[in-house]
């Protein structure tokens, strides 16, 4: 499977695990915050240690790291076990690719803040997206009483119906 390159489609993919958990707003925000925090921890960890791994074991190490932390957070914090999927989808596509050899970047070079700033923004964007979707859910389901918004996926159902109707609109007279 080829992962989408664009940031917004990856955010949508990363939102998939949240769609099946109709938690309340606080729990949802805490889960998203933990996923984003773990994304930053992972990026930070592998930025500094990827040169210490044997090259062909870097990808297995990355996946073992994700699996072990998914299991640990599952047992410790009672998160749903697939929270790690959002972290995986939020990772940049080129992360750990073989042709991206780790350059000899000094620790205090100017590249480091820029790289981390990008990752920081992608995490913060995902957090805002989850919060916006869930605030919308609370508003439409609680205040307006539309039962289709009781599930987080409800808004996507409506968006899909709207998109299909838009694409298949009847012939317009010129």
Partner 1 sequence: MNVKQALIATLKYLFFVLFLFALVALLYVAREWSR
The residues of the shown chain that bind partner 1, judged by CB under 8 A, are 49, 52-54, 57, 61, 64-65, 68-69, 71-73, 75-76
The minimum distance between CB 61 and partner 1, in angstroms, equals 6
The minimum distance between CB 63 and partner 1, in angstroms, equals 11
The minimum distance between CB 64 and partner 1, in angstroms, equals 6
Nearer of residues 13 and 102 to partner 1, judged by Cβ: 102
Nearer of residues 71 and 100 to partner 1, judged by Cβ: 71
Q: What is the 3-state secondary structure (H, E, C) of the chain?
A: CCCCCCHHHHHHHHHHHHHCCCCCHHHHHHHHHHHHHHHHHHHHHHHHHHHHCCHHHHHHHHHHHHHHHHHHHHHHHCCCCCHHHHHHHHCCCCCCCCCCCCCCCCCCCCHHHHHHHHHHHHHHHHHHHHHHHHHHHHHHHHHCCCHHHHCCCHHHHHHHHHHHHHHCCCCCCC
Nearer of residues 66 and 112 to partner 1, judged by Cβ: 66
**Tokens 């508003």, residue?**
139
Nearer of residues 16 and 61 to partner 1, judged by Cβ: 61
Neighbours of 150 (CB within 10 A): 13
The minimum distance between CB 41 and partner 1, in angstroms, equals 13
The minimum distance between CB 81 and partner 1, in angstroms, equals 13
Q: Which two three-digit tokens encode residue 17?
A: 């695990």
Nearer of residues 57 and 93 to partner 1, judged by Cβ: 57
Distance CA 34, CA 77 (A): 10
């Amino acid at each position: 499977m080829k992962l989408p390159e664009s940031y917004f489609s990856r955010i949508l993919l990363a939102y998939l695990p949240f769609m099946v958990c109709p938690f309340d707003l606080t729990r949802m925000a805490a889960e998203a915050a933990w996923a984003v925090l773990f994304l930053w921890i992972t990026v930070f960890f592998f930025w500094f240690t990827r040169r210490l791994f044997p090259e062909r074991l870097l990808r297995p190490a990355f996946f073992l790291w994700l699996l072990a932390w998914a299991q640990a957070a599952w047992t410790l914090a009672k998160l749903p076990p697939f929270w790690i999927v959002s972290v995986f989808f939020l990772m940049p596509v080129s992360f750990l690719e073989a042709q991206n050899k780790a350059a000899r970047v000094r620790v205090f070079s100017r590249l480091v803040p820029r790289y981390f700033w990008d990752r920081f923004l992608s995490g913060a964007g995902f957090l805002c997206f989850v919060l916006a979707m869930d605030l919308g859910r609370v508003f439409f389901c609680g205040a307006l009483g539309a039962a289709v918004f009781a599930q987080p996926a409800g808004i996507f159902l409506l968006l899909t119906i709207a998109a299909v109707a838009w694409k298949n609109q009847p012939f317009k007279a010129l």
